[in-house]
Amino acid sequence: MYAYDQYDQAMVDARVAEFRDQAQRRLDGKLSEDQFKPLRLMNGLYLQLHAYMLRVAVPYGTLDSRQMHALAEIADKYDRGYGHFTTRQNIQYNWIRLEDAADILADLAKVEMHAIQTSGNCIRNISSDHFAGAAADELIDPRPYAELLRQWSSFHPEFSYLPRKFKIAVIASDTDRAAMKLHDIGIQIVRNDAGAIGAAFYVGGGMGRTPMIAPCIREFVALDQLVTYAEACLRVYNRHGRRDNKYKARIKILVHELGAQEYAAQVEAEFAHLLDQGVEPPLAELERIATFFADPPFEDDAATEIDRSDPDFALWVDRNTHPHKTPGYVSAVISLKPVGGIPGDASADQMHLMAELAKDYSFDECRVMHTQNIVLPHVKIADLHALWSKLDEAGLGSPNLDTVEDIIACPGLDYCSLANARSIPVAQKIQQRFADSGRTAELGELKLKISGCINACGHHHAGHIGILGVDRKGTENYQLLLGGSEAQDTSLAKITGPGFDEDGIVDAVEKATDVYLSNRADGERFLDTYRRIGMAPFKEALYD
């Protein structure tokens, strides 16, 4: 894992001191809310429905046990004993007091964490593949590049006031586990025909009000020009992005309006100009960063067989583990989706436990997934049973990864001031319905995603089944969408028709799965069947 040097630490410490002074001036009445709001947002402090909310950055989702323990302590000491892991691999606290905010940032700084650039029109936390550095199918570890981009984008003076917020994801495998094409910039590390490693750039994707899949604007950028090319992409956007209209200010609108070809041409011109300016960090810096991501000391001959006689354990292994590049190891997913729970929420006790398990079983490392679960990336197969037993005992052993019970749900109207409708109760009712009927296993991979408003933090456009909460004359209403994907086969879900009330949407989801089960061909997932048979049979079942 990356460790702060004296520059990183000095920058974060200075920001804490600056914010402490700003918060005190607000409390003393020397700053109005209008003056203070942009300052608190620069430090991830929002005002939500019930209290201040603090969003803490988890760089590309990576935490060590010391950091996870610190997050748990913050939950206990300053919040109400829990936190919420988000779809951007961050964590949010829902019950923060302004009086405590600077102390929390100081506690975070002690473990090399902060809340900088988790709000505002700047480059947000860089996200990545939660199996990075572990996955059997990756070309190289994308994290050094994600870290290089993190350093480049932190406090970048030119990109602190962009037309809108800006999100970047970096992956290094053909399987996309980071919704890469639904980011402002998606970077895939690739190998070209000549055998060289470089980066493909996808620019102008996003969800929200106007969902778009990012087109590839360059198939290969040499790795020693990665930052320069990213800078060129940002510069063209910063120059031409629609600052006049908040709803048209994201880069996806610019790329769409200019056309991918014209946008790419402008980026090329800027890139050529920047190559002369020497903005690329020296290779020595990338090499320095890469040393932090060296493999941990894996055992050479770790056992690859396990005793599968306990069916509950065997099910969990089949569902919640992912192939590792090293024989005898897997990545193990801790589900934060127990039936009836709140997707992505973890109590302080659970965070402490996950920290201990990361230390004992995964070389002191864990990852936040954008699907609101936690990964232990490097677990010895021989240790799986012991790990599972401890998780199961703590209510963290749900064997439901990528099933209909593994629902992404944004905080919705239970917490979020922008929401139209509640997301979490809908997720809970759907989970309960399928858990009770025992059909979860039969349905196989089925990604269900719920957002409480058009901002799409719950990725509803990218769900095999998506649900969007809307306000219908002051009451909650839910639109159903089908056919989305945020994987390598990225697609945008389509609305089925008129919306449903809270119970109606649960019935509608069940009906959609009935259509799937009665039409599926061998080996087809819900998404495959939908793509083959189209919307009509689903509409018929839902509305006739």
Partner 1 sequence: MRILTGNDLKSGAVVWWDGSDWSLHVDHAVDVGDRAEEIAAREEAARRVNVPYAIEAQRDDNGVRPAHIKDRVRALGPTVRPDLTLKPSDAQAGNWVI
Positions touching ligand SF4 (CB under 6 A) are 410-412, 416, 418-419, 451-453, 455-458
Judged by beta carbon, residue 72 or residue 122, the one nearer partner 1 is: 72
Are 101 and 47 contacting, i.e. CB atoms less than 8 angstroms apart? no
295's enclosing H/E stretch is: none
Judged by beta carbon, residue 91 or residue 212, the one nearer partner 1 is: 91
72's enclosing H/E stretch is: helix 65-78
Q: Which DSSP category does 461 fall into?
A: G
Rounded Cα gap, residues 463 and 446, in angstroms = 8
Q: Which does 492 bind (CB under 5 to 8 A by kind): partner 1, ligand SF4, none?
A: none
Q: Which does 424 bind (CB under 5 to 8 A by kind): ligand SF4, partner 1, none?
A: partner 1
Instruction: Name the one range near partner 1 by CB under 8 A: 241-249, 281-289, 329-337, 416-424.
Output: 416-424
Choice from 42, 43, 44, 52 touching partner 1 (CB under 8 A): 52
- Other Cβ atoms closer than 10 A to 510: 15
Choice from 3, 5, 7, 33 touching partner 1 (CB under 8 A): 33
Judged by beta carbon, residue 225 or residue 371, the one nearer ligand SF4 is: 371
Rounded Cα gap, residues 219 and 198, in angstroms = 9
Candidates 21, 91, 92, 20; CA nearest to 50 is: 92
Considering the complex, what minimum distance in angstroms separates the CB of residue 71 from partner 1? 19
Instruction: Name the one range near partner 1 by CB under 8 A: 134-142, 473-481, 490-498, 522-530.
Output: 473-481
Q: Does 424 bind partner 1 (CB under 8 A)?
A: yes
Considering the complex, what minimum distance in angstroms separates the CB of residue 81 from partner 1? 9
Q: Which does 29 bind (CB under 5 to 8 A by kind): ligand SF4, partner 1, none?
A: partner 1
Judged by beta carbon, residue 383 or residue 476, the one nearer partner 1 is: 476
| Alpha-carbon dihedral sign for residues 464, 378, 5, 70 | positive
Q: Does 422 bind partner 1 (CB under 8 A)?
A: yes
Residue numbers 68-127 binding partner 1 by CB under 8 A: 80, 94-99
Q: Does 51 bind partner 1 (CB under 8 A)?
A: yes
Judged by beta carbon, residue 53 or residue 187, the one nearer ligand SF4 is: 53
Return the ∠ at Cα 74 (arms to 33 and 78), rounded to 5°. Answer: 50
Q: Which does 162 bind (CB under 5 to 8 A by kind): partner 1, ligand SF4, none?
A: none
The token pair at 93 is 């606290």
Candidates 348, 310, 319, 489; CA nearest to 406 is: 319
Considering the complex, what minimum distance in angstroms separates the CB of residue 316 from ligand SF4? 30
* DSSP-based three-state secondary structure for 409: strand
Give me the torsion for CA of 175, 181, 184, 187, rounded to 10°: 40
Judged by beta carbon, residue 48 or residue 160, the one nearer ligand SF4 is: 48
DSSP code per residue over 229-281:
HHHHHHHHHHHHS-TT-GGG-SHHHHHHHH-HHHHHHHHHHHHHHHHTTT-SP
| Alpha-carbon dihedral sign for residues 61, 66, 67, 71 | positive
Candidates 449, 350, 444, 365; CA nearest to 409 is: 449
Choice from 3, 5, 29, 523 touching partner 1 (CB under 8 A): 29
Choice from 10, 38, 50, 261 touching partner 1 (CB under 8 A): 50
Are 216 and 202 contacting, i.e. CB atoms less than 8 angstroms apart? yes
Choice from 19, 415, 478, 530 touching partner 1 (CB under 8 A): 415
Are 433 and 442 contacting, i.e. CB atoms less than 8 angstroms apart? no
Considering the complex, what minimum distance in angstroms separates the CB of residue 475 from partner 1? 7
Q: Does 47 bind partner 1 (CB under 8 A)?
A: yes
Considering the complex, what minimum distance in angstroms separates the CB of residue 344 from ligand SF4? 11
Binding residues for partner 1, rule: CB under 8 A, are 26-29, 33, 47, 49-52, 80, 94-99, 342, 413-415, 417, 419, 422, 424-425, 428, 474-476, 502
